[in-house]
Chain A
Amino acid sequence: MKTKILLVLLAAGALWSVRPAQAHHAFAAEYDEKKPVTLTGIVTKVQWVNPHGWIYMDVKQPDGKVKHWTIETAGPSQLSRHGLKKADFTDGMSAVVKAYQGLKDPALANGRTLVLADGRSFYVGSVGGPNDGADR
C-alpha cells in the first residue's frame, strides 16, 4: 500500500516539477514591471491549475536558438470567465503573449494578454499586476 502511495506521489511530483515555485507573493516581488516583453512562439504545454495557470512557450530568438518560456497566468476560473477554454490550446499552435519578465529568472514571465492564431485576444493577468490597461 505504501509503495502504491509513493508511486502516486512520485508520478505527481514528476508531473508538477516543471512548474516554478508558486507560493503567493506580490506581483512586484517576482516580476519586473519595467521589463515588458512580447513573446511570439509555439505553445507546447499548459497547466490549467489553481491558483495560477502556466503556459509554456518555445520562442525563437534572433540568433535562431529557441528559448523556453514559462508564463504565469491568472487562475483557470478567471481565464474561463474571460472566455478562454482548455480546448483553445491545440497542438502546435502559435500565440503572442504580452507579459512582464521575472526579476530573477529571465525565462519566467507574468502574462497579461494572450492572442491566439485566429486573432482572439484574452486577458490572462493575475491580481496586482501593473495598471497597463491590459484588462480593458
Chain B
Amino acid sequence: MRDFRHRHAAAAVVLVAASLLAGCGTPAPEGTPAPEQPPPAASPYRPVASIREVMNSVIDPSVDVVWNSVGSDIDHGRITDRAPATDEHWAEVRRHALIVSEAPNLLMMHNRPVAPPGAPSLAPGVELTPEEIRSLIDKNPAAWYLFAQQLQDALKPALAAIDAKDSQALFDAGDRIDTTCENCHQVFWYPKAVASAR
C-alpha cells in the first residue's frame, strides 16, 4: 500500500513539474481556462469485509489452527503432546499461518470500515465503538500499520518452524503472536479496560 501511494505521489510530482515547465515555455493568454487536471487514480482495492469481520472470519479461525496445532493436554496427570503428525497436517497449519501472515495487508487497506454499518461495540463500555476505533486509527495510522506489520513479523518464526517441522519452535512462536495481537488490542480495541485494570 505504501509503495502504491509512493508511486502515485511520484507521478503527481512529475505531472506538476511538467506543467510548470510547460507554463514557463508558453505563457497562456489571459482568460484562457486552465487545463483540467486528471482526476487522481482511484484505488483498485475494493474492501468487502469490515476490520471486525477480517479479524473474526480470517485471522481468528486461522490463528487458532496455528495455536492449537501444538501444545500439551494433561488428562488426570497424563501428558500428551500435540504436534502435527503428518505432512498433510503440517501443510494445513502452514496454509493457516500464511492466511494470518497476509491478513494484515487487508487491515492496512484504506477505507475499510471498522465494522458493518450501524454495528455497536461488542462489549459496550469495555470495548470501543467502531467510531472510536476509526478515530484512533485515523489519528495514528502509523501505529496501526506498525502493529499490522508486527503481526506479519510475528508469523515469520512460526512459518520457519512449520517449514522445519519443529513443534517446540512453533509453540514458542505462538506466544509472540499472542503478545503482538494483545499489544494492538490494548491500543485500538479496549484501551479503557486496560487502563482501568491498572
Q: Which of B21-29, B42-50, B68-76, B138-146 contacts A (4 or more CB under 8 A)?
A: B68-76
Q: Are B181 and A77 in contact (CB-based, < 8 A)?
A: no
Which of A29, A86, A130 contacts B74 (CB under 8 A)?
Answer: A86
Write the B163-192 contact mask toward A (1 if CB under 8 angstroms, else 0): 000000001101101100110011001100
Write the A15-49 contact mask toward B (1 if CB under 8 angstroms, else 0): 11000001111111100000000000000111111
Residues of chain A with a CB closer than 8 A to B88's CB: 1, 4-5, 8
The verdict on A8 contacting B89 (CB below 8 Å), with A26-B194, A77-B172 known, is yes
Which of B75, B82, B181 contacts A45 (CB under 8 A)?
Answer: B75
Q: Does B34 reach chain A (CB closer than 8 Å)?
A: no
Write the B60-100 contact mask toward A (1 if CB under 8 angstroms, else 0): 10001001101111111111001001101100100000000
Q: Does B198 reach chain A (CB closer than 8 Å)?
A: yes
Q: Are B89 and A5 in contact (CB-based, < 8 A)?
A: yes
A-B contact count (CB 8 A): 117
Residues of chain B with a CB closer than 8 A to A9's CB: 92
Residues of chain A with a CB closer than 8 A to B172's CB: 77
Which residue in chain B gives the minimum CB-CB distance to A13?
Answer: B68
Q: Does A118 reach chain B (CB closer than 8 Å)?
A: no
Q: How far is the CB of B89 from chain A (nearest CB, A)?
A: 5
Q: Are B198 and A131 in contact (CB-based, < 8 A)?
A: yes
The verdict on A50 contacting B67 (CB below 8 Å), with A23-B56, A27-B197, A87-B79 known, is yes
Which residue in chain A gives the minimum CB-CB distance to B124?
Answer: A29
A75 to B177, CA, bound (A): 11
A9 to B96, CA, bound (A): 14
Q: Are A26 and B73 in contact (CB-based, < 8 A)?
A: no
| Interface residues in B119-151 (C-beta closer than 8 Å to A) | 122-123, 126-127
Q: Does B193 reach chain A (CB closer than 8 Å)?
A: yes
Residues of chain A with a CB closer than 8 A to B64's CB: 22
The verdict on A75 contacting B76 (CB below 8 Å), with A28-B126, A29-B190, A130-B197 known, is no
Q: Are B123 and A47 in contact (CB-based, < 8 A)?
A: no
A9 to B85, CA, bound (A): 11
Q: Please name 16 further chain A to chain B contacts, defined as beta carbons within 8 Å, in addition to the given A16-B68, A48-B71, A91-B76, sorted by A numbering.
A: A8-B85, A15-B73, A25-B122, A25-B190, A44-B75, A45-B76, A47-B74, A48-B73, A49-B71, A50-B174, A51-B67, A75-B174, A76-B71, A76-B171, A89-B74, A127-B186
23 pairs, CB–CB < 8 Å, chain A vs chain B: A5-B92, A8-B88, A15-B73, A23-B60, A25-B123, A26-B127, A26-B193, A26-B194, A27-B197, A28-B126, A28-B190, A29-B122, A47-B73, A47-B74, A51-B175, A76-B171, A77-B172, A78-B175, A87-B79, A90-B77, A91-B78, A92-B77, A127-B182
